[in-house]
Structure formats: structure tokens, C-alpha cells
Amino acid sequence: MSTTTDLKTPTPDQLEPLMGGTLPRVAPLLVGVCSVALGALAWLLGLSPVVGVVVAWLGYVLGYTVWSRSVEGSRKATDALMRTLMWTAFVLAMLPLVSLIWTVVARGLPVLTPQFLNDDMSGRALLGVGGGIYHAIMGTVMVTAIAAIIAVPIGLFTAIYLVEYGKNNRLAKVITFLVDVMTGIPSIVAGLFAVALFIVVTGDPLPRLGIGGAIALAVLMLPTVIRSVEEMLKLVPDDLREASYALGVPRWRTIVKVVLPTAVAGIVTGITLAIARVAGETAPLLLILGTARVANWNPFEGPVQTLPVYIFQSLGQTTHFKYGEIWTDRVWGAALFLIIIVMSLNLVARIIGKAFAPKTGR
């Protein structure tokens, strides 16, 4: 016995919302030109340029939405409105970033000469003749590398414990709570911790040590490493772990051979972002590193200079020396080189993550 279902043919009234007209491809351009003209008119009438931009934007949003609604219907008009608002948010978010990058590159690029990168601030450099950031570059590399050597293993093993061994464990909950608290600690508190620690260790009332700055940065880096690695490990499917256990593989070997290789791309990215974050820290290093005018390769003795501290201190020199313009140029050059270091770290993270990511496909 068979039954058939009568399919009713949609009426024209039912098809109308789905078969509406379509705006021409040049519609956004036409509305944009009219909106720019409207904003220019508002500016010519004596309003400020900012008000002119707002008027042009409102003209575009209202004009395009009304036109789309009259031709295409309310559904596509709403979609056009939301798309316009999202593009507006994107442009507003990019404006400060583009302005910052443009300013730093325009003012710092002429300063980045081989002499500027290979000289320190000894000798005649203090009088405004020559001088560079070699000592600050080496100090940044050394202090950040030591901080990473301290924080990355501790953070990695802590995250592994929280995900693989500490589920529904009271100790794991306490550690998670403390990590969350550490995430919100102001950076200068880490510097105070390092100063207090080395006052006790060395007996010096005002210690100036590279290792102290590294420990301060490690304190700031640790919660970021733990959180990023923890989230990446949680993304590994439990099916992979269970399949490994079913084959008789012990837990530690499953973590090393299955879990970590699967999450290595995200782990490397998170660790590199944590390193990039602390590479630009200034407040904790001001308290513990001091001021060095030449490169100091011994983190256990004497002050060490880093790029963020160099920028801060050089900016203060612009009002104390008659060579203020030269000191300002040094500030922009050091800022640009610091941005280059951070961008390089992010690029390296992407390359390493892509190289070690699990291969997919046939």
C-alpha cells in the first residue's frame, strides 16, 4: 500500500520574498560616492572633518539599507546593514594600529643604520655624538631567553598535569585558581617580587641583576604559558588517548607521542605569544635591571639594559640634554626594532606551528 503526498505549488505571494530584485554590482560604489559628496558638503558648510566623516558614514548606511530594502526586500537589507556595521567595526579597529605602525616606521626607519644597531651608549654617545642600541638588543635577548628557559618548562608540565592527571582534583583546582590570579597581577608587582627576592639572596639593598629581570618576566610569562598550553591540550580528542590506552601504551608515552604532537602547533604559538608579551615589559625591569651603557653578558652581576627600558630612559633624556632631537630619534629607532623583534617571533611561531602540525589529507 503506497501513499502519496500532494506537494502544493507555492503562490506568487509566497515566492516574492525569495525572488526579489537584485541591486546592481556598482550599488555600493554609487552610494559611497554620494555619501562622500554629502560629507564633503557638510565640511564645506563649516562643520569639522570628523562630523563630515560621520555624516558620510550615516549617509552610506541609511542610503544603502533603504535602497536594498526597496529592491531586494527586508532580509537582504538587514544582511547589508549588518555587513556594513561589521566593516565599520573592522576599520575602526584598524585605524589606531595602522596609525601606530605608520608613525613608528616613518620616524624610526631612517634611524636604523648599521652604526645605530652596532654601537652602545659609551663614550661620546652620551654627548649626542653617535651611540646605538646594541647593548639594549643583547640585553633584551638575554633576559627574555632566560625568562623563557625558566617559564616554559614549568608552564608546560603544569598544564600537562592539569589536563592529563588533575581532572576533578582539588590540587588542580587550587592551581587553576592561582594561575587565574597571577594572570591579573600588575607587571610592577613582579618587579617588586624580584627585588625582594634578590635583596634576601644577595643582601644588597638595591640589587641590579639581569637574572632578577628574567625572573620577573618569567613570573609574568608563566600564567600565559599555562593557560595557552592547557587550552591546546583540551582540544585534543579523547578518542586519540583512549585508542592509545587500548593498545597498551602507558599514559606518559601517550602524552609524549600522541597528545603533544597533536597540539604542538597551538602550544608553540601560545608560548611564542607569551614570550612576545614579556619582551616589551618595562615596569618590572626598571626596578631590578638598572641602567647599563654597554652590553653585559653576565646576568648574575651588574645592571643590564633592554630595549623597553632604553626607550623609557632615552625619552626622559630629551628634556635634559641640548641634543634632544637625537635622543628622540633613538627612541623611535629602538621602538621600531622592538616591533620587528615581536613580529619576527610571531612569524617564527606560525612557521614552526605549520611545520609541526599534524598532517591531514590522504
**pLDDT, tens digit, 9 for 90 and up, residues 152-209:** 999 999 999 999 888 878 888 899 899 888 888 888 888 888 889 888 888 878 888 8
What is the rounded CA–CA span in Å between residue 329 and residue 326? 5
- Locate 4 and state its grid cell: 502519496
**How confident is the model over 267-292, as pLDDT tens digits?**
888 888 888 888 888 888 888 887 78
- Locate 71 and state its grid cell: 529592491
What is the rounded CA–CA span in Å between residue 342 and residue 57? 35
Are both 198 and 92 inside the same structural domain? no
The DSSP code sequence of 24-51 is -TTHHHHHHHHHHHHHHHHHHTT--HHH
Are both 87 and 121 inside the same structural domain? no
Give a yes or no: residue 282 inside a domain.
yes
Are both 180 and 316 inside the same structural domain? yes
Using alpha carbons only, what angle is made at residue 251 by residues 250 and 252, rounded to the nearest 5 degrees? 95
Q: Please answer whether residues 216 and 285 qualify as being in contact, where contact means their C-beta atoms are separated by less than 8 angstroms.
A: yes
**How confident is the model over 224-252, as pLDDT tens digits?**
999 999 999 988 888 888 888 888 888 88
DSSP helix/strand/coil, 133: coil
Confidence of residue 124 (pLDDT cuts 50, 70, 90): low
Q: Please answer whether residues 217 and 144 qualify as being in contact, where contact means their C-beta atoms are separated by less than 8 angstroms.
A: yes
Confidence of residue 362 (pLDDT cuts 50, 70, 90): very low
- Locate 329 and state its grid cell: 630619534
Using alpha carbons only, what angle is made at residue 90 by residues 84 and 95, rounded to the nearest 5 degrees? 125
Specify the number of domains making up the chain. 2
The pTM assigned to this predicted structure is 0.78
Are both 210 and 350 inside the same structural domain? yes
Are both 158 and 279 inside the same structural domain? yes
Amino acid letter, 116: F
**How confident is the model over 39-80, as pLDDT tens digits?**
888 888 888 888 888 888 888 888 888 888 888 888 888 888
CA distances from 217 to 46, 172, 208, 279, 288 (A): 52, 24, 15, 8, 11
What is the rounded CA–CA span in Å between residue 249 and residue 13? 65
Rg (CA), the chain: 29
Give a yes or no: residue 14 inside a domain.
no
Eight-state DSSP code of residue 130: S
Give a yes or no: residue 322 inside a domain.
yes
Are both 147 and 279 inside the same structural domain? yes
Give a yes or no: residue 1 inside a domain.
no
Domain ends where: 89, 110, 131?
110
Percent of the chain whose predicted confidence (pLDDT) is above 90: 13
Query: Which of these ranges, 231-240, 305-314, 316-325, has the smallest mean pLDDT?
Result: 316-325
Are both 100 and 142 inside the same structural domain? no
Mean of all residue pLDDT scores within the chain: 83
Are both 164 and 232 inside the same structural domain? yes
Residue given cell 600522541 in the structure block: 258
Q: Which residue has the higher pLDDT, 167 or 254?
A: 254
Give a yes or no: residue 10 inside a domain.
no
Eight-state DSSP code of residue 257: I
Domain ends where: 110, 137, 160?
110
Domain ends where: 54, 84, 110?
110
Look at residue 125 in the predicted model and tell me its pLDDT: 53
Eight-state DSSP code of residue 109: G
* Phi, psi for 306 (deg, rounded to 5): -125, 165
Is residue 319's pLDDT more than 50? yes
Confidence of residue 7 (pLDDT cuts 50, 70, 90): low
Are both 95 and 174 inside the same structural domain? no
Residue 29's CB is within 10 A of a number of other CB atoms, namely: 10
- Locate 274 and state its grid cell: 607569551
Give a yes or no: residue 6 inside a domain.
no
Give a yes or no: residue 4 inside a domain.
no
Domain that holds residue 35: 20-110
* Phi, psi for 295 (deg, rounded to 5): -70, 135
- Supply the CATH number for residue 154's domain: 1.10.3720.10
Are both 79 and 171 inside the same structural domain? no
Are both 98 and 246 inside the same structural domain? no
Q: Which residue has the higher pLDDT, 216 or 122?
A: 216
- Locate 225 and state its grid cell: 604559558
Residue given cell 500500500 in the structure block: 1
Closest to 279 in 3D by CA, of 104, 111, 107, 151:
151
Are both 190 and 304 inside the same structural domain? yes
Give a yes or no: residue 12 inside a domain.
no
